[in-house]
């Protein structure tokens, strides 16, 4: 009886522990990120989102550059087609101020899937102490009328984050979850969650080296060593 009682106590303890862990991981309805790809200095993680057809992705890389150059790159909407993966059209709809804007992009999708388009509000925030820059992203699909031949992405949320390091490198994090809108095969939907962050960050390494970004002056951006 004592042995059986002890077994029950241990089983109860383990069960409670597992439930507690599960609550910690899934309290917000999201699983932990799992590494999907680690190549050419770019790591891509994904996780399932309950009730969503698409996984959330997180891409991480490190680039030897300045915070200013990265913000200048993000500010150059017309150049998005040169480095944002599969983006075939990009234009600024509204520039509210330095920190806030609304952008329109078209993302090419493989046949037979229709191209997607997004209307995204973004806001730049820099922490005054750490100098970390976060660009918050949120879909605003109703900010622009539907465009012929395109399926509007109905929901999008994520961020870019630039974390400066004292060795001259900046850690770049690109994290997004969106809903595809319309119907899309699972195989294509899930492949995009790896391809988009991987290729985008790979392209960013090259694009940000352009002279116009390296020589950019943005008074609002404070570098890590700035007084």
SS3 labels along the chain? CHHHHHHHHHHHHHHHHHHHHHHHHHCCCECCCEEEEEECCEEEEEECECCCCCCEEEEEEEEECCHHHHHHHHHCHHHHHHCCCCEEEEEEEEECCCCEEEEEEEECCCCCCCCEEEEEEEEEEECCCCCCEEEEEEECHHHCCCCCCCEECCEEEEEEEEEECCCCEEEEEEEEEEECCCCCCHHHHHHHHHHHHHHHHHHHHHHCCCHHHHCCCCCCCCCCCCC
What pLDDT is attached to residue 7?
A: 45
The one-digit pLDDT tens for each residue of the chain (227 residues) are 454 554 444 334 333 333 333 333 444 556 899 999 999 999 999 999 988 878 999 999 999 999 999 999 999 999 999 999 999 999 999 999 999 999 999 999 887 788 999 999 999 999 999 999 999 999 999 999 999 999 999 999 999 999 999 999 999 999 999 988 877 776 677 778 999 999 999 999 999 999 999 999 999 999 998 55
Rounded to two decimals, what is the model's pTM?
0.85
What are the angstrom distances between the C-alpha of 79 and each of 87, 102, 108? 10, 16, 16
What pLDDT is attached to residue 29?
A: 52
What are the angstrom distances between the C-alpha of 149 and each of 109, 114, 126, 146? 12, 7, 38, 9
Is residue 146 within 8 Å of residue 154, measured between CB atoms? no
Structure-token pair, residue 176:
């997004």
What pLDDT is attached to residue 110?
A: 80
What pLDDT is attached to residue 195?
A: 94
What pLDDT is attached to residue 109?
A: 86
What are the angstrom distances between the C-alpha of 36 and each of 47, 85, 176, 192, 195? 10, 17, 15, 12, 10
């Amino acid at each position: 009886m004592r042995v059986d009682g002890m077994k029950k106590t241990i089983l109860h303890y383990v069960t409670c522990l597992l439930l507690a862990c599960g609550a910690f991981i899934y309290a917000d309805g999201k699983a932990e990120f799992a590494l999907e790809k680690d190549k050419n200095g770019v790591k891509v993680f994904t996780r399932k989102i309950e009730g969503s057809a698409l996984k959330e992705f997180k891409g991480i890389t490190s680039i030897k550059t300045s915070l200013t150059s990265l913000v200048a790159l993000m500010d150059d909407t017309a150049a998005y087609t040169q480095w944002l993966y599969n983006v075939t059209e990009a234009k600024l709809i509204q520039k509210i101020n330095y920190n806030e804007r609304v952008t329109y992009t078209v993302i090419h999708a493989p046949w037979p899937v229709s191209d997607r388009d997004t209307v995204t509000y973004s806001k730049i925030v820099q922490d005054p102490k750490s100098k970390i820059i976060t660009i918050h992203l949120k879909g605003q699909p109703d900010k622009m009328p539907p465009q012929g031949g395109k399926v509007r992405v109905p929901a999008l949320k994520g961020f870019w984050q630039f974390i400066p390091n004292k060795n001259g490198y900046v850690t770049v994090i690109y994290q997004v979850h969106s809903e595809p809108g319309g119907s899309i095969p699972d195989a294509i939907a899930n492949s995009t969650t790896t391809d988009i962050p991987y290729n985008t960050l790979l392209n960013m390494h090259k694009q940000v080296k352009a002279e116009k970004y390296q020589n950019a002056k943005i008074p609002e951006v404070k570098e890590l060593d700035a007084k």
